[in-house]
């Protein structure tokens, strides 16, 4: 009987060490739902760039002191305030990186909208000026103009998506997760 109890205790100790050293992956979907997985392959591809890898600390976190001693330990804690975080543990850096990422997407999309629009207008003008050109040439110009028009719509959609993320989605997520709204301001 003692051997069985010792075997169970030993097994529990080994199991607790294995689970303690397990890494956990955390991500937030577009609806703001927080997800966790213990295997990176379980994280959907589109969220892998934002995955936060959570590893257990090397040493267990000490219990907070009751403040009775009032010694050096209490003074050290008051000097360095811990970094502020939202409800799921993301700090200012994570939020600023998201804002920067979406702002870069917005600026890039806007530049592409302008360039594609200019190319499309030039192609339309070329098509107007080709009255006395062969029909095959006109068809080619029409096809090129149509491709440019479709690209223009795609870039406008990407620009609108980025603008929506910056103006509505990220502020709503920050509010839901109680992140500091100042973290969403674009640094210049």
- Pair 23, 55: CB distance under 8 Å: yes
**What is the domain extent for residue 26?**
22-56
The pTM of the full predicted model, rounded to 2 decimals, is 0.55
Does one domain contain both 28 and 100? no
Does one domain contain both 51 and 110? no
In a domain, 9, yes or no: no
Confidence of residue 17 (pLDDT cuts 50, 70, 90): low
- Residue 158: its H or E element: helix 135-164
Query: What count of other Cβ atoms lies within 10 Å of the Cβ of residue 148?
Result: 19
Task: State the pLDDT at residue 31.
Answer: 77
pLDDT digits (tens, 9 = 90+) for 33-48: 888 777 778 888 787 7
In a domain, 5, yes or no: no
Does one domain contain both 168 and 110? yes
In a domain, 11, yes or no: no
Task: Please give the backbone phi and psi of residue 32, each rounded to the nearest 5 degrees, phi first.
Answer: 90, 10
Does one domain contain both 99 and 176? yes
Does one domain contain both 96 and 168? yes
In a domain, 71, yes or no: no
The domain tally of the chain equals 2
Which residue from 184, 153, 149, 186 is spatially nearest to 169, judged by alpha carbons?
184
**Longest alpha-carbon distance in the chain:** 102
In a domain, 154, yes or no: yes
Does one domain contain both 51 and 133? no
In a domain, 81, yes or no: no
For residues 25 and 50, what is the distance between their CA atoms, to the nearest angstrom?
A: 10
In a domain, 7, yes or no: no
In a domain, 176, yes or no: yes
């Amino acid at each position: 009987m003692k051997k069985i109890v010792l075997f169970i205790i030993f097994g529990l100790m080994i199991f607790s060490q294995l689970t303690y050293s397990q890494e956990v992956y955390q991500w937030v979907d577009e609806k703001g739902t927080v997800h966790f997985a213990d295997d990176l392959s379980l994280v959907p591809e589109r969220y892998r760039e934002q995955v936060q890898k959570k590893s257990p600390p090397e040493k267990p976190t000490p219990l907070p002191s009751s403040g009775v001693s009032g010694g050096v330990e209490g003074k050290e804690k008051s000097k360095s305030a811990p970094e502020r975080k939202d409800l799921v543990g993301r700090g200012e850096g994570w939020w600023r990186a998201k804002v920067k990422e979406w702002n870069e997407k917005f600026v890039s999309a806007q530049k592409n909208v302008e360039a594609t629009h200019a190319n499309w207008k030039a192609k339309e003008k070329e098509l107007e000026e080709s009255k006395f050109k062969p029909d095959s040439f006109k068809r080619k110009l029409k096809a090129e103009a149509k491709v440019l028009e479709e690209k223009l719509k795609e870039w406008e959609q990407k620009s609108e998506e980025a603008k929506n993320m910056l103006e509505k989605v990220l502020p709503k997520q920050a509010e839901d997760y109680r992140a500091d709204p100042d973290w969403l301001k674009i640094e210049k």
